[in-house]
Amino acid sequence: MILLKRRVGSLFSLILQTGLLGMYVSLLYSGDMQNYLTTKLMPFVYFFLVFFALSVVWQIKSVIQGGKESIPAGRLLFAVPVLIVILAPTNTLSSSGLKKGAALLSATGTGVATENSSAPRTKKFSTIKIDEKNYFDRHNEFYDPGFVAANRGRRIEVSGLLFSDQELCYSDQGFIGRYSVACCIADAQPLVFGLLFEEDFSFDSEEEWIIVSGVVTEAEFPQGKFPAIKVESVRPNEQELFNPYVYPPGTELFGNLFQH
């Protein structure tokens, strides 16, 4: 009986190994891996694939030869991530994390400066087009002290998820943002810009993927004054595939090995 249990254990181990291997392969093949990890981790993922592929072969051989392995019940836990990938659709993060970013922004009033403030690092732009390559840097610069003073009235265009929050903005205000991801989605940092509309703005739905054009200004939000975009036009983002993530400079250390 014990022998039979241990043989079943070997088989069960094989199923788990195959499941974990299949999870990585399917996410890579479908391109959904980029919803979880950045490209710089790909060499480690490939190492995992190679080792697990070899270990599956080794385990098959072991099962055929009547391998005996006792399986602690805790090992069942490894089935959880595999089942999530199989049963739940792949998701990107919702705007709930961006709202946390907006709350942080509101709490600090970052970047507010007077016309006379000295800010030697502040850049002056003619027009500011924020795309996925420069999102991280431009967001940081936007909240540099003195940015508004140096760039008030300059044209600015940015894409992202549109959202509002009753506690954080008035009815003619909103936010747009994306997440900066360095390694995996667990380290996603909200990068949020405040928006000021000409009149009360009605949101058709939360999580709209849009492009906003306008000019640099600063606005009085419920929690204080901070840099914002005075919106002149809002249009659906048909230029880019939906992707709420941007990557800070230096995160493609090993190159883009798997992008579809």
Partner 1 sequence: MIYFNDFTTVFLSILLESFPFLLLGALIASIIHLVTDERGLERFLPRSPLLQMVAACFLGFLFPVCECAVIPVARALIRRGVPVSTAIVFMLASPIINPIALFATYTAARSDWSIVVIRAGLGLFIALVCGLLLRKKSASEVLLPENPEQKEDHDHHHTHGKISFLVRHTLNEFWQVGFFLIIGAAVSSSVQQFLPVEAVLFFRSNGVLSIAVMQIMGYLLSLCSYADAFVAMGFSSVFPMPAIFAFLIISPLIDVKNTLVLSTCFKKEFIVSLIGKLFLFSFLAALIIMLSRSYG
Report the interface residues with partner 1, using CB under 8 A: 13, 17, 20, 24, 27, 33, 35-37, 40-41, 44-45, 47-48, 51-52, 54-55, 58, 70, 74-75, 77-78, 80-81, 84-85, 88, 91-94, 96-97, 100, 103-104, 107-108, 110, 140, 143, 180, 182-187, 189-190, 248-251, 253
Retrieve residue 256's tokens. 């883009």
Q: How far is the CB of 84 from partner 1 (least distance, A)?
A: 5
Q: Which lies closer to partner 1 via its Cβ, residue 78 or residue 125?
A: 78
Q: Which lies closer to partner 1 via its Cβ, residue 70 or residue 233?
A: 70
Q: Which lies closer to partner 1 via its Cβ, residue 15 or residue 84?
A: 84
Q: How far is the CB of 237 from partner 1 (least distance, A)?
A: 21
- Could you tell me the end-to-end alpha-carbon distance of the chain, in angstroms, rounded to an integer? 50
Q: Which lies closer to partner 1 via its Cβ, residue 44 or residue 129?
A: 44
Sequence length of the chain is 260
Query: In the chain, which ranges are continuous DSSP H helix?
Result: 2-30, 42-64, 79-87, 96-108, 135-142, 147-151
Q: How far is the CB of 143 from partner 1 (least distance, A)?
A: 7
| Separation of alpha carbons 260 and 32, rounded Å | 10
Mapping DSSP to helix (H, G, I), strand (E, B) and coil, where does residue 47 land? Answer: helix
> Quick one: CA torsion of 22, 27, 29, 33, rounded to 10 degrees?
-150
Retrieve residue 89's tokens. 């659709």
| Separation of alpha carbons 52 and 78, rounded Å | 14
Q: How far is the CB of 107 from partner 1 (least distance, A)?
A: 5
| Separation of alpha carbons 27 and 184, rounded Å | 14
Nearest 5 degrees, angle CA 156-CA 239-CA 157? 5
Q: Which lies closer to partner 1 via its Cβ, residue 2 or residue 80?
A: 80
Q: Which lies closer to partner 1 via its Cβ, residue 74 or residue 238?
A: 74
Q: How far is the CB of 105 from partner 1 (least distance, A)?
A: 8
Sign for the CA dihedral angle at 221, 225, 230, 236 comes to: negative
Q: How far is the CB of 57 from partner 1 (least distance, A)?
A: 9
